[in-house]
């Protein structure tokens, strides 16, 4: 019975540590699938992997700036269907943040300006 407290503390710290950085996503299948639909397959895979690396780096720099709820929700969405990408995850987080900011300032995110 004495070990439950320390075990819970260690478990909680591991969860916190994992949540403080972006998840590891398997981007290669997505990049290969996307590149297989174009002529320069090898070059396109390399470009895709490089772009995903840049998105992952940007996520790592600002991961804790996004709300925990948005990180959880967007990570689940990014992994949905097996086509995980850092660009999808980053886009989801940025949209969620922007909508939250619009609502906080009294703007309706669905009230688009007319031309």
The domain spans of the chain are 22-104
Tokens read off for 115: 């031309």
The distance between the two most distant Cα atoms of the chain, rounded to a whole number of Å, is 67
The torsion angle over the Cα atoms of residues 101, 105, 110 and 114, rounded to 10 degrees, is: -120
Q: What is the pLDDT of residue 88?
A: 93
**CB within 8 A of 25, min separation 6: which ones?**
56, 78, 79, 84, 85, 86, 89
pTM of the model as a whole: 0.74
pLDDT at 5: 53
Q: What is the mean pLDDT of the chain?
A: 82
- pLDDT under 70: residue ranges of the chain: 1-19, 38-42, 115
Residue 94 half-sphere exposure toward CB, CA atoms < 13 A: 9
């Amino acid at each position: 019975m004495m070990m439950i407290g320390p075990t819970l503390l260690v478990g909680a710290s591991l969860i916190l540590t994992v949540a403080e950085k972006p998840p590891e996503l398997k981007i290669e299948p997505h990049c290969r699938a996307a590149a297989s639909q174009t002529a320069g397959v090898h070059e396109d895979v390399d470009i895709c992997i490089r772009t995903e690396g840049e998105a992952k780096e940007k996520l790592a720099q600002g991961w804790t700036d996004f709300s925990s709820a948005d990180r959880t929700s967007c990570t689940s969405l990014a992994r949905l269907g097996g086509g995980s990408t850092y660009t999808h995850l980053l886009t989801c987080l940025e949209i969620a943040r922007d909508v939250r900011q619009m609502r906080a300032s009294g703007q309706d995110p669905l009230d688009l300006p007319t031309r």
